[in-house]
Chain A
Amino acid sequence: MSLHVLATGALTTVQDRGRRGLAHLGVPRAGALDAPAAELANRLVGNDSDAAVLEVTLGGLVLTTDVGAWIAVTGAPCPVEVDGAPRGHARPEWLAAGSRLRLGTASSGVRTYLAVGGGIAVDPVLGSRSTDTLAWVGPARVEPGTRLPVGPLARRPAPHDTPRPPRAGPLRVHPGPRVDWCAPHALQTLCGSAYVVGSASNRIGLRLEGPALERVRHLELPSEGMVLGAVQVPPDGQPVVFLADHPPTGGYPVLAVVEEADLWQCAQLRPGESVRFTPA
């Protein structure tokens, strides 16, 4: 059984929980940027939490299916239509064989997740079905015309067993390894002001604009390993939060690290929206 993709919007990729343990070979982790939304979609259709889903950027996905399937749409809310009739968000819906699913433009947020009962069953690459958009390890980007195989159903949907989506709030930060490369008040500056999301933000990093974070050391930092959620301070002082497709090593000092449980919000912030940080 397979899904036949007719339109993808700005960017649609296959994502699971990512490719772990290969940073020393230069391979980004990848994986769904809004992990709780992807997990919710999987639970709604009865999948295991490591099943692969589609990550759709700002809506615009259109596909047909050749057999009946349970689906669930989570993350950034957008109109969900099956053969032109509206369907629900964040609940299991039955997609009959031959019907056509359309995700409209997201009304807020950035990334919408589509889970299918049985999971997207493209061949894994190095243990994961995630596409990383930095080095393009993993399945090819989903394009109009792509056929996506779907795996066998693990179990029936269990809608009453699903968790509520997490609540939004300021991003909690822990001190990073290079606090001493920044001015003593840099963490306070980061936590004391609103930062605006820049238009160059993507799956690699959330680029922020706001009060510059001052550095006291201006030497070049030899490249060192980076973690998910690292807040890098480039020479211009405008912070970048590293997301799932971040390079495994980097050469700018890391002032802080965003609490992993808060990172889903970075997946849903639009350019021009503001974000605040708070000490963890």
Chain B
Amino acid sequence: MHLRPFGPHALLAEVADATEALALAAWARHTGLVVTDVVPAAGTVLFDGLAPDEAASLRSRLATWNPPKAGGAAPPETRLVEVPVDYDGPDVAFVAEQWGTDVEGVVARHTGTDFVSAFCGFAPGFAYLTGLPDGLAVPRLDSPRAAVPAGAVALAGAWCGVYPTASPGGWRILGHTDVSLWDATRSDPALLAPGTRVRFVRA
């Protein structure tokens, strides 16, 4: 792990990948660290709002952390959310072609994959879901759509994501769901907070 200072109140920890970042963030949240934000991302964890003497303490605690073994099972306490999908998206045929299969093949693969929310970004409640192998990565649109509706289930690279609110977007849309991904009035506003396990099912 490589630690990079990020101004006087923050540290950026570089790790191998999103899975390791998620594990480090979960571990750090349970160490009683005095910090405002712990933000996992694709290959880093940001610790922001560290109390003045906390950076040194964090550095020494991080030295004792070991990444989880590759392919290890998700911790049993992680929540599993089922997301029903209508596979009626404009890019489902494109994805089928990229994957060398037909639409049914895409649905079978997508509903048969165990996804995990690695981190949120782009918009409140927009979760980057890992689970697809790199071999199934698909390119983004050359030019993003001006409007992607809320609930669109989409792919970019090997990531899967569900748009929580309508926004512009360049991901390849497989279909849509009616579940509410983001609700600021809920005590847990993001349905797919980092660490949540996700299964897609046919609506």
A-B pair number, CB within 8 angstroms: 107
For the complex, give the distance between the alpha carbons of A175 and B6 in Å.
Answer: 7
For the complex, give the distance between the alpha carbons of A176 and B12 in Å.
Answer: 10
Binds B, one of A18-26, A55-63, A91-99: A18-26
For the complex, give the distance between the alpha carbons of A202 and B7 in Å.
Answer: 22
- List which A2-52 residues lie within 8 A (CB) of chain B: 20-27
CB-based contact A21/B37 at 8 Å: yes
CB-based contact A227/B7 at 8 Å: yes
For the complex, give the distance between the alpha carbons of A226 and B48 in Å.
Answer: 9
Say yes or no for B87: interface residue by CB 8 A criterion.
Answer: no
For the complex, give the distance between the alpha carbons of A244 and B123 in Å.
Answer: 15
Binds A, one of B56-64, B66-74, B186-194: B186-194
- Give the dominant DSSP class at B's interface: loop
CB-based contact B121/A21 at 8 Å: no
CB-based contact A26/B36 at 8 Å: no
Say yes or no for A272: interface residue by CB 8 A criterion.
Answer: no
What is the interface residue range for chain B against chain A?
Answer: 35 or more
User: Least Cβ distance of A266 to chain B in Å?
Assistant: 15
User: Least Cβ distance of A177 to chain B in Å?
Assistant: 4
Q: Identify which of A22, A126, A174 contacts B8 (C-beta below 8 A).
A: A174
User: Least Cβ distance of A115 to chain B in Å?
Assistant: 25
Among residues of A, the one whose C-beta sits closest to the C-beta of B43 is: A222
Indicate whether A224 sits within 8 Å of B42 (C-beta atoms), given known contacts A26-B125, A257-B6.
Answer: yes
Say yes or no for B40: interface residue by CB 8 A criterion.
Answer: yes
CB-based contact A23/B48 at 8 Å: yes
For the complex, give the distance between the alpha carbons of A222 and B128 in Å.
Answer: 12
For the complex, give the distance between the alpha carbons of A222 and B20 in Å.
Answer: 14
CB-based contact A135/B123 at 8 Å: yes
For the complex, give the distance between the alpha carbons of A175 and B37 in Å.
Answer: 20
Say yes or no for B9: interface residue by CB 8 A criterion.
Answer: yes
Given contacts A25-B190, A174-B7, A225-B37, 7 further A-B pairs with CB under 8 A are A23-B39, A24-B120, A27-B189, A223-B121, A227-B46, A227-B48, A249-B41
